[in-house]
Amino acid sequence: MATNTETESEGFGRVSRSTGVVFRYLLLGATLFGLVFVTVLLAYVANDAIQPLTADPGWHLTFFLTLVVPTLAVAGYLYRQPEDVLNTGALSIGLVVVSLLFSGGAAMIFVDIVTPLTWLAFVVALAVPAAVTAAVVRYDHRVPFTAQFVVTVAAFYLSLFGIPGPVTDIQVVPGLFGLISGVPFAPAPWLMLVGTLGLPIAFVSGRIVAHDRGRRTTVLLTLAFLAVAAAGGVVAPFVGVDPVPGTVVATVGLVLPLAYAVNVAVNRPAERAGLLLPAAVVVGALVGAIAVDALGFAGPQSWIDWAFLTSPHSSSAEEAGFYPSIAGSILLMLTVAVFSFPVGVGAAVYLEEYAPDNKFTRVIDVNISNLAGVPSVVYGLLGLALFVTYLGQSPGTVLIGGATLGLLILPIVIISAREAIRAVPEEMRAASFGMGATRWQTVRTVVLPRSFSGILTGTILALGRAIGETAPLIMIGAPNTKFSVPTGISEAASAMPLQVYAWSSLYAGPEFYEKVVPAGVVVLVAVLLAMNSIAIVLRNKFQTGE
């Protein structure tokens, strides 16, 4: 039995229970110190951006009665239920918020960056060679590996690029992408999105919800979710919104949380009560909005409104917008993912599954770990020297910015992917080898599917770091302020942290510093939290699977 008396123990020195208690509370104090100060800082910034105290008292009272009280009551009830029920309710709310947030970003892409016809051409040009690859893989025991590789690569190349002719702009065999993107007549843009974006999401959602209930149930559920996606395009004009963003928001922002709720209601009856929590939030918010509108209560004079999110930058604080920077960050993140994900995962697979354990690989391990801690400004200098100075590319473009940020997070992607691959039990590899599978077949069918959630989690967290970086973009000459949305990877693009930096330095007046800057910071933090929440959900799912 432990006592407060101090005794001497060989190997531990002086043993004292009081010292342990003091050490424990010192750690607790250090933890609370950091959390409290970060919370106070975020609350201070959010108060400047949203200004909740400028709303009428009746506005606060209405939402307190319709939203806060019912939500707290439901949460209290769920707290007395098994833990999974409350977790399901919290996850449902988070999924609604994150889906709506990302649906706005996806709508922005299809409105200003990629036309629905180009998207349709790209999807078809990838779907056809993917089908060819699936057919080749299905009969891989009859086809040599070299033939499989050649057929697969040729299918993707011909579909995307065709066969170029001896003269520029003339092709002997046009690719599917060029053929479809150049057709003179095409369906309505929102209908193309229903077919290319809504149908795959509806099909996956239908299969998950239908579970093992047969093909007919899967088809019916797929059609039901597809109808929700199509309804977005039909209803949008009646509320003053273009059908294209309406379709995207309905597909990404409504179908996904709806599919999760239906899946819980149908397949997990013990957790159905958790759906009361998102229902209380959604219904309470709608009832509160209708009530304050009917009663004439004014809301907070927030700087984060629709105009702030959809307007370009202005020298006037009242007219300053964040739209080009949000679009630039989205394009940069897509480029970073294309550069870093395949290279990082490929390196991780090689180092974990194929590389011998010798001095050379140990040197590589140490250098990758060291590169993960190099300051971001060094990667900016590397991008400037490599891409701009030696390769002669234009500074500040989406391509150069994405490549530089891709180099920045590449060590993190490699390390996280290696940890996920290493977590796959060795017994599963041995079982695969025991059944006669080769190393490649074991990696493809056992290791990668088992570790994919962990790989994706690490990649998302790395992208979260990249989206908040400023120093590398400054070093490669990315513009602080952009007045239009970049429409291609060769155009210059700004980013959210760069725009906030410009507001706080180049336009450092009280109106910008105390109102516009906090609004930009809140939007940036909201995007980061959304990305991190996706990573947390994937990690929990992976751990549950374990």
- Mean pLDDT, residues 508-519 taken together: 81
Q: Which of 258, 281, 278, 275 is nearest to 85 (CA)?
A: 275
**Residue 91 · residue 245 · CB < 8 Å:** no
Q: Is pLDDT larger for residue 345 or for residue 310? A: 345
Q: Which of 312, 358, 448, 467 is nearest to 402 (CA)?
A: 467
**Residue 542 · residue 457 · CB < 8 Å:** yes
Structure tokens at 122: 């790209």
Give the model's pLDDT for residue 73.
Answer: 93
Contacts of 462 (CB under 8 A, 6+ apart): 340, 409, 412, 413, 416
* Cα–Cα distance list, 125 to 109, 119, 161, 250 (Å): 19, 10, 9, 25
Lowest mean pLDDT among 70-74, 100-104, 223-227: 100-104
Location of structure tokens 């079982």 = 431
DSSP string over 173-226: E--HHHHHHT-S----HHHHHIIIIIHHHHHHHHHHHHTTS-HHHHHHHHHHHH
Give the model's pLDDT for residue 8.
Answer: 62
Reduced to 3 states (helix: H, G, I; strand: E, B; else coil), residue 476 is coil
Helix H or strand E segment including 343: helix 323-349
Which residue type sits at 66?
A: T
As a whole number of Å, the CA-based R_g of the chain is: 27
In angstroms, the CA 123 to CA 120 distance is 5
- C-alpha neighbours within 13 Å on the C-beta side of residue 426: 1
Lowest mean pLDDT among 295-309, 343-357, 400-414: 295-309
Give the model's pLDDT for residue 223.
Answer: 92
For the cut 60, the answer to whether the pLDDT of residue 544 exceeds it is no
In angstroms, the CA 350 to CA 343 distance is 11
- Mean pLDDT, residues 33-43 taken together: 86
Give the model's pLDDT for residue 71.
Answer: 92
For the cut 80, the answer to whether the pLDDT of residue 11 exceeds it is no
For 350, other C-beta atoms within 10 Å of its C-beta total 14
Contacts of 100 (CB under 8 A, 6+ apart): 249, 253
pLDDT band at 376 (very low <50, low <70, confident <90, very high): confident
Give the model's pLDDT for residue 2.
Answer: 47
- Mean pLDDT, residues 285-311 taken together: 87
Which residue type sits at 322?
A: F
- C-alpha neighbours within 13 Å on the C-beta side of residue 400: 31
pTM: 0.81
Q: Which of 435, 495, 430, 428 is nearest to 468 (CA)?
A: 495
* Cα–Cα distance list, 232 to 16, 116, 245 (Å): 67, 15, 8
SS3 content of the chain, % helix, strand, coil (to 5): 75, 0, 20
Give the model's pLDDT for residue 226.
Answer: 92
- Mean pLDDT, residues 91-105 taken together: 83
Give the model's pLDDT for residue 543.
Answer: 59
Give the model's pLDDT for residue 546.
Answer: 47
**Residue 447 · residue 421 · CB < 8 Å:** yes
pLDDT digits (tens, 9 = 90+) for 401-450: 889 999 999 999 999 999 989 888 888 888 988 888 888 888 888 898 88
For the cut 90, the answer to whether the pLDDT of residue 287 exceeds it is yes
pLDDT band at 539 (very low <50, low <70, confident <90, very high): low
Parallel, antiparallel or unpaired: strands 13-15 and 7-9: antiparallel
Give the model's pLDDT for residue 541.
Answer: 63
For the chain, give the mean pLDDT.
Answer: 84
Percent of the chain past pLDDT 70, that is, above it, reads 93
For the cut 60, the answer to whether the pLDDT of residue 284 exceeds it is yes
* Cα–Cα distance list, 310 to 220, 275, 322, 326, 494 (Å): 37, 33, 7, 9, 15
Reduced to 3 states (helix: H, G, I; strand: E, B; else coil), residue 322 is coil
Helix H or strand E segment including 171: strand 171-173
- Mean pLDDT, residues 50-58 taken together: 87
Give the model's pLDDT for residue 62.
Answer: 92
In angstroms, the CA 359 to CA 366 distance is 11
- Mean pLDDT, residues 230-236 taken together: 89
In angstroms, the CA 191 to CA 351 distance is 45
**Residue 249 · residue 232 · CB < 8 Å:** yes
In angstroms, the CA 350 to CA 439 distance is 11
In sequence order, what E strands does 433-532 have?
none
* Cα–Cα distance list, 290 to 51, 60, 61, 93 (Å): 21, 14, 14, 21
Location of structure tokens 């374990």 = 546
Give the model's pLDDT for residue 1.
Answer: 46
Structure tokens at 134: 């699936």
- Mean pLDDT, residues 486-504 taken together: 84
Q: Which of 286, 176, 200, 187 is nearest to 244 (CA)?
A: 187
* Cα–Cα distance list, 11 to 4, 106, 112, 290, 505 (Å): 19, 60, 67, 70, 57
Give the model's pLDDT for residue 68.
Answer: 93
pLDDT band at 222 (very low <50, low <70, confident <90, very high): very high
Structure tokens at 461: 């967290």
Q: Which of 409, 527, 423 is nearest to 458 (CA)?
A: 409
